[in-house]
Amino acid sequence: MKYRTLGNTDLKVSAICLGCMGFGDPSKGMHTWTLPYEQSKEIIKYALDQGINFFDTAMAYQSGTSEEYVGKALKEYAKREDVVIATKFIGRTKAQIEAGITTKQHIENCLQGSLQRLQTDYIDLYILHAWDENTPIEETLFVLNELITQGKIRYIGISNCFTWQLAKANEIAKANGWQPFMSVQGHYNLIFREEEREMKPYCDLHNIAMTPYSALASGRLAKLPNEVSKRLTADVYAKSKYDATQTQDLRIIQRVQQLAQQHQVSMSEISLAWLLTKVTFPIVGATKKQHIDTAVSAVKHIFSHDEIKFLEELYTPHPLVGMMARK
């Protein structure tokens, strides 16, 4: 495993971040394909054994049970100082605002819940799950900076935002002497490359770590069109993101298949290796040990210039989907 510094932080993390959305009580939350604890901890332990020290979860994943599973497993199998934990919090709802809950109260409550579920005293990377339309970003940054000074958070990041929003937030932080967002977690893979328009150039310029999710397009970049899996069948949310463009995406997926056959590796390895030429820390979900093996192998894969061109040249613009489509 390769280790790199996360953007402008002092965090030394594995080139692969284990995405933990697949861990959590299947009877809770928006997904039915997640793993119960006994299976989840086996995957987490195996990831640790393969050198992965970077774990990403969220309070929203399976009603907090993802955090619970991650916290319990890491406490059993690792020393706290040897792992980097990222988790995400959501903004206030309109109902919470109407009830008089302040930004400070809300973030502190979210953080305290995550700390308890993760069984830790601090979070290495605390991420705003999506740009908060109901709260001035100044309020959020001020509260987060207070929590940093208290030692409850080391660094902060943001997910699901536009480039102008990230730039605005970090200029406000800079003007006030607060810590800026050190990472951004967006939707980015070989068949969804809209982050290359503005976000990637901005992050490259300012050394902001990109930790993209959906690295394999919820399995679409890992399997042939006629192959199925539990997630491909059951993940209704992913279907809403990819089904509308499946015809144009298929040509790219077929090229992934072709290169995989030439190199005698999996399609997953080709897809992840391509993303690693663009960003430093892709988030990779795993519900089987072989998913970990593939991710680790992808870190070592080297493409020729012509192979990268072969994978990229058929891409056409895509409409925004998922959380970003609602903005």
Is 69 assigned a catalytic role?
A: no
Helix (H, G, I), strand (E, B) or coil at 92: coil
**If we measure between CA atoms, which residue out of 212, 176, 180, 219 comes closest to residue 195?**
212
Choosing from 3, 37, 46, 61, the catalytic residue is 61
Integer CA distances (angstroms), 247 to 156, 225, 237, 254, 318, in order: 38, 11, 18, 11, 12
β strands within 11-101, DSSP E: 12-14, 17-19, 54-56, 84-89
Six-digit token string for 165: 């929003």
Alpha-carbon distances of 307 from 58, 256, 281, rounded to whole Å: 36, 10, 21
What is the rounded distance in angstroms from the CA atom of residue 212 to the CA atom of residue 58? 15
- Positions annotated as catalytic residues are 61
